[in-house]
A and B are shown apart, each in its own frame.
Chain A
Amino acid sequence: MAGQTIVDKIWQSHEILLDPGSGESLLYIDNLFLTDSSSFHAFDLIEKEKLPVRNPKQIFGVPDHFASSKSKKLLDIADPDRIARINDLESNCKKWEIHHFGLDDPRMGITHVVGPEQGITQPGKIVLCGDSHTSTHGGLGALAFGIGGQSGHVLATQCLWQKKLKQIRVTVSGSRQNMVTAKDLALKIVSTLGAGGAFGHIVEYAGEAITALSIEERLTVCNMTIESGGRAGIIAPDQITFDYLLGKDFAPNGRDWENAVKFWKTLQSDPEAEFDREVFIDAGSIEPMVSWGNTAEETLPITAYIPDPFSIEDRDRRESLSNALEYMGLTPGTKMTDIKIDQVFIGSCTNGRIEDLRAAANVLKNHTIKVPALITPGSNLVRKAAEAEGLDRIFIKAGCTWGEAGCSMCVGMNGDIVAPQKRCASTSNRNFVGRQGSGSRTHLMSPAMAAAAAINGRLTDVREL
């Protein structure tokens, strides 16, 4: 018998049945996360169908998309619709006795930061959320993916219909150069696979450059999987994973912990397991990366120049590239480091964890920024940890705004937006047209690179600072 991948193992242990007509499996779901931005549709659905929430203890509600970065007060939220949606989440969770980490709960934050931080996300689990960056949780060895409209279905049944996805293994060998971060790795992987390159696939990340990553870095890499079209990213759990989870509130303890670790150790792809595709990347070749276009594929090393669409043969691709350059207000041949920026955003489920804030603070220390910079922690706990280490004082002294936890300017849904034609150096995950606000121009990069850009007011190679 051929070997199994991690995903095969998790799939098998959660498959209730297979429907031959659709080729879809009915999977048992360990945890569902609900956010303020999409869960109201799910509750509307079960109300309409007059069905109860099947397993409320396996469900977690966290308001993050609409949460204000200015304060914890509801009144600081931009408009009545958003306040209503945050209230909907709270009242729905209360009604059904679902865990709810509200705005002022010390555990509140961006859902994909909170799940791992609380130890809710664990190796071998299937974790879902109505948000595409659910792929983040794969950094702990869980099979985690975004679902659109099926949250209501999961609330009512604790199950999901899902066709078994194909699998890609991305092996990153060697070791990273100095100042090259997990974000640079993630951007390199996406630009190698292409924006649609992992469509319909789950991506397992392996190789010594991956196993060398901390959990926070692994979460960053898995987070960006969706930018190559992949539904989920996953990294085999190891001692680093177990050490991270030990003692977390929702992680098993005592006898359960020992049994859990024994089981988690089996979650490795077998040596003879076969993948639908294998991709190899040399970590040593990666430089600090910056996106210039409107997909994360359109990313280049900071030492590069803006590409010329006329050199591209494929007509659609050429057109799309020209459109991206026009939207981004860029001229082919411009040196990346000559691009001036208007503002900086550091935060998000990609780069809003404590290690990210430390990296930014490390660069910002003893500097003054030239353009406005908003820094928002990924959770209330990250905020507290950052303040205990004095990072907030470094940020404020440099001239940055130190905000409250939430999705903030990554998705521009809480009122923190980038104005039309303004250029933002951002540690978030998407540089789509209009992502950070209508007409906004986003350049994706690591926290250290974003901090360097804030200091110089232009895209900057952090290694030269």
Chain B
Amino acid sequence: MEPFVFHRGLAAPIDAINLDTDQILPARFLRKRRSDPEYKTFLFHDLRFDPVGNENQNFTLNQEAFRGATIIVGNSNFGGGSSREAAVFALEAFGIRSVIAPNFGDIFYNNCLKNGLLPIVLTKPETDQLRKTLHQNPGSRIDVDLNEQRVSTDNGITYAFEINDTAKSNLMLGLGQIGLTMMHAQRISEFEARYNAQLYS
């Protein structure tokens, strides 16, 4: 997992609310393995492309100024719906390192953390302001500082965000989750023995 400490990147606004995981990665692509070279084209596929495969120019990620974006600033209820982890794989394959929104689907939020992608919750007015700034200054960069828990734009906007300490340190170390759990192997085994002994007794 690639560690996440500080990231400066091109940010694209996506205004739609309720952008669920079916839209982030349509179900028909779920059968693909991550090693598929086309994986990045699956991201937002039905929003980015029309039925014959032409790019939809109204979708910000297709617009010249936002091409190569590594940060998405979204709107309410980003990543709700289906639990598909592959929605995060698609974002990652596309090169997205961080998604900023007023709130996220629970499972999606956790999937981001577990895959080295930083989900940032800001308030609704803050995200509205960020998207507005990005629309007005297409192609501008955002600094995401995980250590300082701060998001800032070049024109002076700075917002603080919260993240739990464990998720933060795992992201900063690029530590996979299994390794972390294995540090508690002894306690797991003891618990399991006790649990099995009292089951149906």
Contact = CB atoms under 8 A, between A and B. Distances in A.
A21 B77 contact: no
A132 B187 contact: no
Contacts of A435: 22, 27
B31 A81 contact: yes
A34 B145 CA distance: 37
Contacts of B81: 132, 430, 432
Contacts of A153: 177-178, 181
A41 B85 contact: yes
A57 to B, nearest CB: 11
B181 A199 contact: no
Contacts of B20: 432-433
Given A148-B83, A148-B111, A21 B18 contact: no
A150 B27 CA distance: 19
Interface in B134-193: 164-167, 169, 176-179, 181-182, 184, 187-188, 191-192
Contacts of A432: 20, 22-23, 81
A294 B17 CA distance: 12
A331 interface: no
A149 B111 contact: yes
Given A28-B195, A147-B83, A158-B188, A21 B27 contact: no
A413 interface: yes
Interface string B1-41: 00000000000000011101011001110111110000000
A402 to B, nearest CB: 24
B178 A156 contact: yes
Interface in A191-208: 195-196, 199-200
Given A17-B187, A153-B178, A413-B28, A195 B22 contact: no
Given A132-B82, A157-B181, A157-B182, A149 B88 contact: yes
Nearest to B31: A81
A369 B64 CA distance: 51
Interface in A143-171: 146-150, 152-153, 156-159, 161
A65 interface: yes
Interface string A424-450: 000000101111001100000000000
B17 A252 contact: no
Interface in A80-137: 81-82, 84-85, 130-132
A257 B27 CA distance: 41
Contacts of B110: 148-150
Given A231-B106, A434-B46, A16 B184 contact: yes
Given A22-B165, A157-B182, A316-B76, A295 B18 contact: yes
B80 A85 contact: no
A223 to B, nearest CB: 14
Contacts of A85: 31
Contacts of A17: 184, 187
A24 interface: yes
Contacts, number: 166
Contact of B33 (A21, A40, A257): A40
Interface residues of B, number: 56
A21 B181 contact: no
A148 B90 CA distance: 14
Nearest to B167: A22
Interface in A397-437: 411-413, 420, 430, 432-435
A66 interface: yes
A256 interface: yes
Nearest to B195: A28
Nearest to A256: B200
A121 to B, nearest CB: 15
Contacts of A430: 22, 81-82
Given A256-B200, A413-B30, A161 B181 contact: yes
A229 interface: yes
Contacts of B115: 149
A438 B26 contact: yes
B48 interface: no
A91 to B, nearest CB: 14
Contacts of A433: 20, 22-23, 46
A433 B169 CA distance: 37
A208 B88 CA distance: 41
A156 B167 CA distance: 20
A23 interface: yes
A187 to B, nearest CB: 17
Contacts of B31: 37, 66, 79, 81-82, 84-85, 413
Contact of A412 (B28, B46, B166): B28
A440 B17 CA distance: 20
A259 interface: yes
A19 interface: yes
B32 A157 contact: no
Given A157-B178, A420-B51, A435-B22, A38 B32 contact: no
A260 interface: yes
B114 interface: yes
A44 to B, nearest CB: 8
B74 interface: no
A174 to B, nearest CB: 31
Contacts of B179: 49
A438 B106 contact: no
Given A147-B107, A153-B177, A153-B178, A28 B191 contact: yes
Interface of B: 16-18, 20, 22-23, 26-28, 30-34, 46, 51, 75-77, 80-86, 88-89, 103, 105-108, 110-111, 114-115, 164-167, 169, 176-179, 181-182, 184, 187-188, 191-192, 195, 200-201
Given A148-B108, A199-B105, A231-B106, 16 more contacts: A28-B192, A37-B30, A85-B31, A130-B85, A132-B107, A149-B88, A153-B178, A153-B181, A196-B76, A199-B106, A200-B106, A229-B77, A412-B27, A413-B31, A433-B20, A438-B26
10 contacts: A22-B164, A148-B84, A148-B111, A149-B88, A150-B114, A157-B188, A159-B181, A294-B18, A316-B76, A430-B82
